Amino acid sequence: MSLRISIATGSSVPIYRQIAEQIRVSIATGRLEVGDQLPSVRSLAENLVINPNTVARAYGDLVKEGTLESRHGRGAFVARKSTGLTRTERMRRLRPSLEAFLNEAISLEFSDEEIRSELEKELKKTRRGEEKHG
Q: How many CA atoms lie within 13 A of 3 on its CB side?
A: 23
**Among the listed residues 51, 60, 49, 3, the one whose alpha carbon sits nearest the alpha carbon of residue 26:** 3
Residue 69 contacts which entry, a copy of itself, DNA, none (Cβ below 5-8 A, type-dependent):
a copy of itself
> At 77, is the secondary structure helix, strand, or coil?
strand
Closest CA to 3 of 65, 16, 11, 19: 19
113 binds a copy of itself (CB under 8 A): no
* Distance between CA atoms of residues 72 and 106, nearest Å: 48
Give the residue, chosen from 42, 92, 128, 133, that forms a contact with a copy of itself under the rule CB under 8 A. 92
Check residue 34 for interaction with a copy of itself (CB under 8 A). Answer: no
Site string for DNA, 27-66 (x = CB under 7 A): -----------x-xxxx------xx-xx-xx-xx--x---
CB 63 within 8 A of CB 69: yes
Give the nearest distance from C-beta 103 to DNA in angstroms.
Answer: 16
CB 28 → DNA: shortest distance, Å?
21
- Interface with a copy of itself (CB under 8 A), residue total 58
Q: Where are the alpha helices (DSSP H) in 29-72?
A: 41-48, 52-64
Give the residues lining the site for DNA (CB under 7 A): 14-17, 38, 40-43, 50-51, 53-54, 56-57, 59-60, 63, 70-76
